[in-house]
Amino acid sequence: MPHAFDDRQSALPIRALIVEDEALSLETIRLLIGQHVSQVDTARSGEAAYTHLHATDYDIVLLDLTLPDASGHEIMRHLRERQPDAVVIVVSGNDSIESAIETLRAGAYDYLRKPYRAEELIKTLRNAVQKVKLRHDNRHYQHRLQQSEQLHRLLVNLSPDLIYTLDIEGRFTYLSDSIAHMLGYPGIELIGQHYSRIVHEEDLEKARYRVNERRKGDRATRGHELRFKRKEGLPVGPEDLPHVVAELNSMGLYRPRPDGSEELIGTYGVARDISARKQAEATINFQAYHDQLTGLPNRALFRDRLNQSLAQAKRQGHLLAVMFMDMDRFKLVNDTLGHLVGDRLLQAMSQRIRACLREADTLARIGGDEFMLLLPQIPNRESAAMIARKVLQALKSPFLIDGHELFVTMSIGIALFPDDGETMELLAKHADIALYHTKDKGRDGYHFFQQDLNASLNIRMKLETELRRGLQRREFEVYYQPQFAIASRRIVGMEALVRWRHPERGMVGPDEFIPIAEDTGLIAPLSEQVLQHVCQQARQWHEMGLPRVNLSINLSASQIEQSEFVERFTSTLQANRVPERMIGIEITESMLMRDMDGSIDKLRQLAGFGVEISIDDFGTGYSSLNYLKRLPIHTIKIDKSFVQDIHPNSEGTPIVAGIAAMSHGLKLNMVAEGVETEAQLNYLEQLGCQSCQGYFLSYPLDPKKATRLLALQTL
């Protein structure tokens, strides 16, 4: 492909016209000129001359002034008007000086007087050809220059970068077309305007030495970030920022002076739009510091903000609060309704919490259902409490997700700077301890950190270690508390109650260690050991031929929630060859409420296996008749707190009477717990309660004593 500025293009054809009526003369001239030009036309009359001149543009015209049919001067005039670039050489028989001067004045290039010598003609012709060639070359270079300039302009304008020049005062002298695309201005609008018109106000100071850079070479501006304003009133897309972030390269423009020094004439600059990259960076940044699901800040960002706020709180001496928040029983939602519902619940929940906060507060999601809240500046302790209450209150109304109405509660722990710690770690740890305390106290609430919580946490942790060791060393025993048929006073059942024979503390009751076992997951191995004990006991009593009684085992919520609970339970019974219908379970209402559908399913399977089901502590929970009808329940155990309200000579209690009537109606067996007096026993008997359990008739007994008592009954 030929280069755009190929030199061959300069060899333009030279065309000559000879107007001469004398044949010999004409031929001579033609021969001479023919060597130098590419085309020679001849005309022997004025008419022929005009015909040629109309058809062709000539570079050289040799014109005889004396023609038979036309005036040479006339033809010259024509040439001057129509082909002013033609080099005209006049040949004339008129030898007066005046004629020559007149001809030259009329625009002729040279004048030859007839008769002329050949050398004379040759010289004149050579000069003329030279002149034409020069002119052609000139034209060619001009054309090349034009093309080159066009190309450069095109290259500059094709570039997505904004290329500009400024004069020494900082006014635009040139702007490439990309200005329109980049900032929405037609370039012409800004020519002569000061650059500050397009620089973002906050960046003006930065721009001062950058946009109209005077330095050059290494010290010039390279890769400097700057914001430019888009033209006002321009429609911006949803993704568009009102400004453009650009990377600027600029340098001083200098002109050499004749003395070799240089004169500053302005600035040359290139600004590259990096808004898209900036936005992408911002997105990546956002993702690195935010939780994907809820869009809330994550742990890393929370740490950052807490650190900053702490520094500020220290300087300015104000209070700051850190809260640890943990959703109560979120796992249950996830396990029973699926992760999608769980996710949506977390999203909806975080929105509600956010709505309780101020702009400056930071709510972060730091784990599955764990959140942390930073209140960077609070006037007093009470204002932190107020926010906690506000959050708890906001969660009170149910969440509607996928057609499920979900009730959510939250446990909150609060630590304050500077009272509860001066470092990030300590504040977070203490808020966490306070949260533990809230969980301990029945969840759905908030507590501030207190030093003694720390102590109780230490006790707790010690207990956990001991619990593990106790399980390994099999320090757990099972006691049996008999249940009597009120009418016959015969033993009809035994409740299995776990005890811990602690090496230092002696016998420890379940209320002290079951909650910790539940929290730490140790409840599973513990229950396993209890079940083993009970199964072996049942088998032993059976083999001893003792009267058949029902042994009931207390279950904990997390136990039933285990997915393979039923299988594990029944296979243990089978493995120990426990006689049918000898072992039952006790569950509480609140355990059922945690996952009604899942529980129903499991309880049905157990009932199908011959396991009797009792509702423990009945009356203290929801006491809903509805679920009683849906569940395969055999027995309700009326809670001891109601039984203990029965006093001699009193009217009795309407609650116990009501429960008795209800269980009667539902044909359920009713056991009264915690019977401590004869009066209570009598009252219960009157109400038609079949069985009872309590200190009045028997304390929980160790296996030996329980065996003896059962054996007595055979007598």
Which chain residues interact with ligand C2E by CB under 6 A? 481, 497-498, 509-511, 514, 527, 530, 554-556, 586, 616-617, 640, 673-676, 693-695, 700
269 binds, among ligand C2E, Mg ion, none (CB under 5 to 8 A by kind): none
514 binds, among Mg ion, ligand C2E, none (CB under 5 to 8 A by kind): ligand C2E
Measured from the CB atom, the residue of 326 and 586 that comes closer to Mg ion is: 586
Measured from the CB atom, the residue of 371 and 642 that comes closer to ligand C2E is: 642
| Gap between the Cα atoms of 538 and 546, Å rounded | 10
Binding residue (CB under 5 A) for Mg ion from 79, 112, 616, 694 = 616
DSSP line for 251-272: EEEEEE-TTS-EEEEEEEEEEE
Q: Please tell me the number of Cα atoms within 13 Å of 189 on its side-chain side.
A: 10
676 binds, among Mg ion, ligand C2E, none (CB under 5 to 8 A by kind): ligand C2E
110 binds, among ligand C2E, Mg ion, none (CB under 5 to 8 A by kind): none
Q: Please tell me the number of Cα atoms within 13 Å of 448 on its side-chain side.
A: 17
Beta carbon of residue 703, minimum distance to ligand C2E (angstroms, whole number): 14
| Gap between the Cα atoms of 677 and 659, Å rounded | 20
227 binds, among ligand C2E, Mg ion, none (CB under 5 to 8 A by kind): none
Per DSSP (E only), the strands in 361-431 are 362-365, 370-378, 399-401, 404-406, 410-417
The single-letter DSSP state of residue 8 is: G
DSSP line for 418-481: TTT-SSHHHHHHHHHHHHHHHHHTTSSEEEE--HHHHHHHHHHHHHHHHHHHHHHTT-EEEEEE
Beta carbon of residue 640, minimum distance to ligand C2E (angstroms, whole number): 5
Beta carbon of residue 700, minimum distance to ligand C2E (angstroms, whole number): 5
Structure tokens at 137: 């070359």
Omega cis (within 30) before 525: no
Measured from the CB atom, the residue of 124 and 481 that comes closer to ligand C2E is: 481
Residue 261 backbone phi and psi in degrees, to 5: -80, 180
Which one of 1-9, 419-427, 515-523, 615-623 is the stretch in contact with Mg ion (CB under 5 A)? 615-623
Measured from the CB atom, the residue of 91 and 514 that comes closer to ligand C2E is: 514
622 binds, among Mg ion, ligand C2E, none (CB under 5 to 8 A by kind): none
Give yes or no for residue 698 binding Mg ion (CB under 5 A): no
Beta carbon of residue 654, minimum distance to ligand C2E (angstroms, whole number): 22
Beta carbon of residue 705, minimum distance to ligand C2E (angstroms, whole number): 14
714 CB neighbour count, 10 Å cutoff: 9
> What pairing do the DSSP bridges indicate for beta strands 691-692 and 172-175?
unpaired
Q: Residue length, the chain?
A: 715
| 164 contacts 176 by C-beta, under 8 angstroms | yes
| 637 contacts 619 by C-beta, under 8 angstroms | no
The single-letter DSSP state of residue 230 is: P
Beta carbon of residue 601, minimum distance to ligand C2E (angstroms, whole number): 20
Give yes or no for residue 589 binding Mg ion (CB under 5 A): no
Contacts to Mg ion from residues 629-688, by CB under 5 A:
673
Measured from the CB atom, the residue of 369 and 612 that comes closer to Mg ion is: 612
Measured from the CB atom, the residue of 110 and 617 that comes closer to Mg ion is: 617
Measured from the CB atom, the residue of 46 and 674 that comes closer to ligand C2E is: 674
Helix 654-665 to helix 678-687 angle (10° resolution) is 40
Beta carbon of residue 637, minimum distance to Mg ion (angstroms, whole number): 6
Give yes or no for residue 554 binding Mg ion (CB under 5 A): yes
| Gap between the Cα atoms of 23 and 26, Å rounded | 5
The single-letter DSSP state of residue 186 is: -
Beta carbon of residue 381, minimum distance to Mg ion (angstroms, whole number): 39
Beta carbon of residue 557, minimum distance to ligand C2E (angstroms, whole number): 9
Beta carbon of residue 700, minimum distance to Mg ion (angstroms, whole number): 11
Binding residue (CB under 5 A) for Mg ion from 342, 566, 617, 690 = 617
Measured from the CB atom, the residue of 292 and 472 that comes closer to ligand C2E is: 472
Measured from the CB atom, the residue of 555 and 611 that comes closer to ligand C2E is: 555
How far, CA to CA in Å, does 702 sit from each of 480, 549, 556? 6, 16, 22
493 binds, among Mg ion, ligand C2E, none (CB under 5 to 8 A by kind): none
3-state SS of 605-642?
A: HHHHCCCEEEEEEECCCCCCHHHHHHCCCCEEEECHHH
Give yes or no for residue 586 binding Mg ion (CB under 5 A): yes
Measured from the CB atom, the residue of 556 and 690 that comes closer to ligand C2E is: 556
> Under the rule (CB under 5 A), what is the footprint of Mg ion?
554, 586, 616-617, 673
